A and B are shown apart, each in its own frame.
Chain A
Amino acid sequence: MSASPNGGLGQRFAELFPFDWETIRHAGAEPVPFHLKKWWFCLGGTPMYLFIVQVATGIMLTFYYVPSPDHAYASVDAITTQIRFGWFIRSIHMWSSNFMIVAVILHMLRVFFTRAYRQPRQLNWMVGFMLLGLTMTFGFTGYSLVYEQLSYWGATVATNLANAVPVVGPLIAYFMRGGAEIGPQTLTRFYMLHIGVLPLLAFGLLSLHVLLIRMHGVTELQFEGEEPPEERRFFRFWPEHVTTELMIGVLLMYLLTILALIFPASLGAPADPTVTPAHIKPEWYFYWDFRLLQLTSLKVSVLLTGLLGGIAFFWPFIDGWLERRSKNVDLIVVVVGVVAFLGFLGLTIWEAVAY
């Protein structure tokens, strides 16, 4: 919308807020490759949508949550059992967080197997990988805030893991705990991370992620039997692609609501620092790493996690390195991806059934 030439309210607003709305119009008219009409190319927008859900429900939860060891559990209990619709908001928040991790993983699967991370998009893969880490950290810190037995002891194990990271580990662990041991400071820190630091980081990285996509453009892929690049069709970001994403959003809301109704967020026994539970488990997305920890040692598992994370983080460059040395790099990438993902699934299931 540009300033109205005939004066009136439009012109006054344009004077008060001299923003060039053409920029938005131009950005919204960005042509999108036709292959994004395929469902598996819409997964990138899903975590973004879920992030908005998380921000909205998270803000509502902070109205009632009390971030102190003496009151945290009771306030979650009150949200779940006493405050009108509290259980629903909490359940949506919980399910949405899980969906977000699933969506990010599925999005990364698609990007990995289509090798959409290649030059010049290496940086965006790395930003995306950081967003994955951020999403998992969101999940971990959020779960710890519940302050039930398992979440408390899950946090204890996690800070022990952090402590085992070479060189900077003890410093990170000390920072997370707010001291040498888990204490009253830990909950406050996790709370501040969860509602302050992480959202800011996520907002920044998401913006960068989207900006990089817009700057590079969406990877154009050549499907078998489709028209050659010069004849490719495009459709508009606004309103076509946005409405597709909104439809997915509506479907997600249906799913989240159904899950919240059928499997509402539960609440275990309150945290008791003096009683170690028989079975300590982190959230499912850390199962693979927890299994590694039990298969090896604290040090080895931390190093192995760092190594695997490093490989994944720098994979676009490894891909480039392989491409220069092999003609079958496409196949190698697929094999590596399948093996790595099956390994992740295998370790996850192993940990799940190993009670």
Chain B
Amino acid sequence: MTLNMKRFIVAGLSFLFLAALLVVAYQESKQHRIEEGLEPVVTALNKGCVDCHATDTASLVMEWKRSEHGIYGVGCIDCHGAEEGEIDSWMHEGVRISVLVTPKDCAECHVREYEEFARSHHARAGEIIMSLDNVLALKAAGMPGNVADAVNGCWQCHGTIIKFLRDENGELLRSGKENRPMIDPDTWPNSGMGRFNPDGSRGSCHACHSRHSFSTEISRRPENCGKCHMGPDHPQIEIYNESKHGIAFYASTEHMALDTKGDWVLGRDYGAAPTCATCHISSYMTPQGVMVGNSHEVGERISWTLRPKVSNLINLVTYTDGFKEDYPESRDLPAIGDVVPTVEKAAENFELVTRTVDRTVASITTWQDRRLKMKGACLSCHNDHFVDNFYQQFDSLVTLYNEKFGIPAKEMMDELIADGIIKASAPFEKHVQWIYWELWHHEGRRARHGASMMGPDYTHWHGMYEVAKHYYDKFLPAVIEAAEETSPALGRKWQRKVTALLAQPEHVWVSGLSPEEAAAMANEYAQRYNQ
């Protein structure tokens, strides 16, 4: 063989060598990307799904590919796979699946999170179905045969009972060549926090961990909570955005380590600002080490309930089966080991039912204990004097609302019912009932929530100012108006009661300021504005 021929052989083999090295480099780079979490792992079980859905629902697959689930090879069938007999399942391309992924499905891997969530305040959000809010959506805004306001409004946050369309014989209606069960469009799509699922579980993990990215980062961001915790009756996100905490968050988001894997610990992983998750559920550093948060129980650190007509300090009773119940401070606490009747709501045959269950008390967390847990997070940035004084400021605002407006207004409304002026069974019949509703449910909550989260404008102008204005200017006149509509005698009675009320020290200002106060105010405006 000639040397020239050998030269070509050596050259050819060298090129093949280079090609082999490129194959090795490509494979190593691919594997490296998988290990670094830059490439998803598509297991044989899920390959068929991914191949089709990469074009059928391209964005969904894209999101999954960059998700933690994708990186660890947790794919479509792992979550959507179903057993025969599950009402929402059908055979799809040879595999039994369900479109609904419930917390019980997630519990296949996330057992602790499922158990925490199942007994949380969030999981009970669907019980709104029996509240005044729901009456307004179904009756005031809706009409017989059309519950669209509740469907598109309340239930999207609170959740509803997932139902299925049936024929006149009660048989499930199915659609398409695969006989997919038809979910009642009034009940799904729905990712409400307290959704009643057909498998008996409650809620939707997707409410906070948006599919299909399942990002912990999203769930740590305040905007995530803002989907539901906003608006005239519970404007937490607006208050947060107004607060120093919110300002610090948006100014220093890059220092928040929001993408931290695993525990996200205040004082260890970040310290720039707290988000909703920081204060209510996350772990934080203490001088003794990490105080591990109960990551799926949002109510644990709340010492006041700011939602009802009159606020209460709340103790927490936990039963041996994990069931939890808030006990207002005014309610006598049971002893540990006592068997007490508890009221729970559940979906039975696709309807919400209330039942009483005897349960054994396992532990009691007083409102002071709950507050201490919250203070632990505060103390990561503030000293104890600061934190204690803040709580005094907050407590005094709630007390002010309760004593000046909340309790008197409630007592008046109760007496109006006793006098037969308004009916408990007709909560929105009279003008006064609408005024009262907004007084506590909108304005009163705004004031209390504003104080709880350090939002000065929500505390005053959107809160206490509105409460005061409507109390004097709308509520009290509406009380007299309702009484007069019922009878002249009741009208006179309520006129006298309101006059007496306004004569109390906290209300006499309405009749006029003292000469000194009036002169000081006139002087102030003259000096500042020359008016």
Tell me the A residues contacting B by CB distance below 8 Å: 38, 40, 102, 105-106, 109-110, 113-114, 221-224, 266, 268-269, 279, 281, 284, 287, 330-331, 334, 337-338, 341-342, 345, 348-349, 352-353, 355
> Other CB < 8 Å A-B pairs besides A40-B11, A110-B10, A352-B20, 12 of them?
A105-B17, A223-B4, A224-B2, A224-B3, A281-B28, A281-B31, A338-B13, A349-B23, A349-B24, A352-B23, A352-B27, A355-B27
B14 contact from A109, A266, A334, A342, Cβ within 8 A: A109
Distance (whole angstroms) from the CB of A156 to the closest CB of chain B: 18
A330 CA / B2 CA spacing, docked (Å): 9
CB nearest neighbor in B for A328:
B1
* Given the contacts A352-B27, A352-B28, A102 and B21 also touching, CB distance less than 8 Å: yes
Query: Which chain B residues numbered 30 to 48 have a C-beta less than 8 Å away from chain A?
Result: 30-32, 35
10 closest A-B pairs by beta carbon, nearest first, are: A352-B27, A352-B24, A345-B20, A284-B24, A113-B6, A330-B1, A223-B3, A349-B23, A113-B10, A224-B2
Distance (whole angstroms) from the CB of A291 to the closest CB of chain B: 12
**What are 16 contact pairs spanning A and B, CB under 8 A?**
A102-B17, A105-B17, A109-B10, A221-B3, A279-B31, A284-B21, A284-B24, A334-B1, A334-B9, A342-B13, A345-B17, A348-B20, A348-B24, A349-B24, A352-B23, A355-B30
Residue contact A222 to B3, C-beta cutoff 8 Å: yes
Task: Answer yes or no: B7 CB below 8 A from chain A CBs.
Answer: yes
* Secondary structure dominating the interface of A: helix
* Given the contacts A349-B23, A355-B27, A331 and B1 also touching, CB distance less than 8 Å: yes
Distance (whole angstroms) from the CB of A74 to the closest CB of chain B: 19
Task: Answer yes or no: B247 CB below 8 A from chain A CBs.
Answer: no
Residue contact B31 to A345, C-beta cutoff 8 Å: no
Query: Which chain B residues numbered 205 to 222 have a C-beta less than 8 Å away from chain A?
Result: none
A110 CA / B14 CA spacing, docked (Å): 10
A58 CA / B92 CA spacing, docked (Å): 59
CB nearest neighbor in B for A351:
B24
Residue contact B20 to A334, C-beta cutoff 8 Å: no
Residue contact A341 to B1, C-beta cutoff 8 Å: no
Distance (whole angstroms) from the CB of B80 to the closest CB of chain A: 25
Residue contact A355 to B31, C-beta cutoff 8 Å: yes
A279 CA / B11 CA spacing, docked (Å): 34
Task: Answer yes or no: B16 CB below 8 A from chain A CBs.
Answer: yes
Residue contact B3 to A287, C-beta cutoff 8 Å: no
Distance (whole angstroms) from the CB of B399 to the closest CB of chain A: 54
* Given the contacts A284-B21, A352-B23, A353-B23, A268 and B3 also touching, CB distance less than 8 Å: no
Residue contact A345 to B16, C-beta cutoff 8 Å: yes
A30 CA / B24 CA spacing, docked (Å): 41
Q: Mark B392-434, 1 if CB is under 8 A from A, else 0.
A: 0000000000000000000000000000000000000000000
A338 CA / B31 CA spacing, docked (Å): 30
A287 CA / B21 CA spacing, docked (Å): 11
* Given the contacts A224-B2, A279-B31, A334-B1, A113 and B23 also touching, CB distance less than 8 Å: no
* Given the contacts A40-B10, A109-B13, A266 and B32 also touching, CB distance less than 8 Å: yes
A residues less than 8 Å from B1 (CB atoms): 330-331, 334
Interface centre among A38, A102, A284 (most CB of B within 10 A): A284
Distance (whole angstroms) from the CB of A269 to the closest CB of chain B: 8
B17 contact from A106, A222, A224, A352, Cβ within 8 A: A106
* Given the contacts A109-B10, A109-B13, A353 and B4 also touching, CB distance less than 8 Å: no
Residue contact A341 to B6, C-beta cutoff 8 Å: no
Residue contact A349 to B20, C-beta cutoff 8 Å: yes
CB nearest neighbor in B for A110:
B10
A24 CA / B294 CA spacing, docked (Å): 78
Residue contact A287 to B4, C-beta cutoff 8 Å: no
A113 contact from B9, B24, B30, Cβ within 8 A: B9
* Given the contacts A114-B3, A224-B3, A341 and B13 also touching, CB distance less than 8 Å: yes
A331 CA / B35 CA spacing, docked (Å): 46
CB nearest neighbor in B for A334:
B1
A106 CA / B14 CA spacing, docked (Å): 7
* Given the contacts A40-B11, A223-B3, A279-B31, A287 and B17 also touching, CB distance less than 8 Å: no
Residue contact B4 to A284, C-beta cutoff 8 Å: no
A114 contact from B6, B21, B28, Cβ within 8 A: B6
A residues less than 8 Å from B3 (CB atoms): 114, 221-224
A147 CA / B14 CA spacing, docked (Å): 32
A345 CA / B15 CA spacing, docked (Å): 11
A341 CA / B12 CA spacing, docked (Å): 11
B residues less than 8 Å from A284 (CB atoms): 21, 24, 28
Q: Mark B302-338, 1 if CB is under 8 A from A, else 0.
A: 0000000000000000000000000000000000000
Distance (whole angstroms) from the CB of B352 to the closest CB of chain A: 47
A348 CA / B7 CA spacing, docked (Å): 24
CB nearest neighbor in A for B18:
A102
Q: Mark B238-265, 1 if CB is under 8 A from A, else 0.
A: 0000000000000000000000000000
A residues less than 8 Å from B9 (CB atoms): 113, 334, 337-338
A155 CA / B23 CA spacing, docked (Å): 24
CB nearest neighbor in A for B30:
A355
